[in-house]
Chains A and B, each alone.
Chain A
Amino acid sequence: MMPLQSVFLIRLSLLWLLLSTLAGAILLVHKAYGIHPSTWLLLPLHFEMAIWGWMVQLVIGTAYWMFPRFLRSDIRGPELPAWILVILFNSGLVMILSGHLFTSIPGLIFSGRFFLLTGIGIFIYLIWARVISYRNV
């Protein structure tokens, strides 16, 4: 059964995929029609949403769902850190995107990267012990 944290991670990754595609499509049309010079501001957003929002988040959500589970009641480990991971990862990404758009506000990208890093740290903490085989080989 897919855990609720994975449902959130995977569905959010799908939304980031859609937003990244929209940004990419606008950039592509801008290359042909020259909409406005500031359209290029979307380029770093397009990258960040595709890499972190879509691909990395989908991998995290799927790994949290599918990796071998523990033989105890909390089959995927404590739930609270997994929820914190969902929140930190996505709020961090929003901060990074805001930092690219509003360059006058200092520290947004730095704080966003810190949130992402903490989220990834929590993911490693949750998944490390589940990289395991229960066979005697």
Chain B
Amino acid sequence: MPKISRLFIKSGIIYFFLGMILAFVAELPFVNTGALLLPVYWHMIVVGWITQIIMGVSIWMFPRIGKDRKKTETIPAHLAFWLLNSGLILRFSVEPFLLLFTTNQAVLLVVLVSAILHISAIISYLIEIWPRVRTRPVIARRSE
């Protein structure tokens, strides 16, 4: 398994655990967060856990271009990991407190940067995985 896939999968497992902790804490009788933690919880599970596991496994298992037997780790794959995780960390650190800081420009800027990081991460992942989703190349088929 390439290093980048291990990073995606281990990061996914951590978010899964954090998401479950958050869900547990939100249910404690003396904790009254209302719906504030709900988007954080859902994004920890759906993006942090499921999507990152899919990304890690697909980068590991999907067919590689040409005869890439060394399983080269590409820049877009690494970009996808670091952009997505920095975007998620920024988001989780400010989203529950947005109502308290509606006029704080620094907090609002963090949200904007987080949104841009999310989109950039997905575009990087698409650049990595799109050419690898294909039927067998024509040259290989002819040689059969």
Contact = CB atoms under 8 A, between A and B. Distances in A.
Interface residues of A, number: 25
Contacts of B111: 28-29, 31-33
B95 A28 contact: yes
Interface stretch (B3-11, B17-25, B118-126): B118-126
Contacts of B129: 14
B50 A28 contact: no
Contacts, number: 63
A29 B95 CA distance: 10
B54 A55 contact: yes
Given A2-B63, A31-B95, A32-B98, A11 B115 contact: no
Interface in A1-16: 1-4, 6-7, 10-11, 14
B63 A32 contact: no
Contacts of B126: 14, 17-18
Interface of A is mostly: helix
A55 B45 CA distance: 13
Nearest to A20: B122
Interface in B45-63: 46, 50-51, 54, 63
A64 to B, nearest CB: 13
Contacts of A6: 133
A14 B124 CA distance: 12
A124 to B, nearest CB: 22
A6 B61 CA distance: 15
B71 interface: no
A21 interface: yes
Given A7-B134, A14-B133, A21 B118 contact: yes
Nearest to A3: B135
A129 interface: no
Contact of A25 (B46, B54, B118, B134): B118
Q: Interface centre among B95, B98, B135, by most A CB within 10 Å?
A: B135
Interface of A: 1-4, 6-7, 10-11, 14, 17-18, 21-22, 24-26, 28-29, 31-33, 50, 54-55, 58
24 contacts: A1-B135, A4-B135, A6-B133, A7-B135, A14-B126, A14-B130, A17-B122, A18-B122, A21-B119, A22-B119, A24-B118, A25-B119, A28-B114, A28-B115, A28-B118, A29-B111, A29-B112, A31-B95, A31-B98, A31-B111, A32-B98, A32-B108, A33-B108, A54-B51
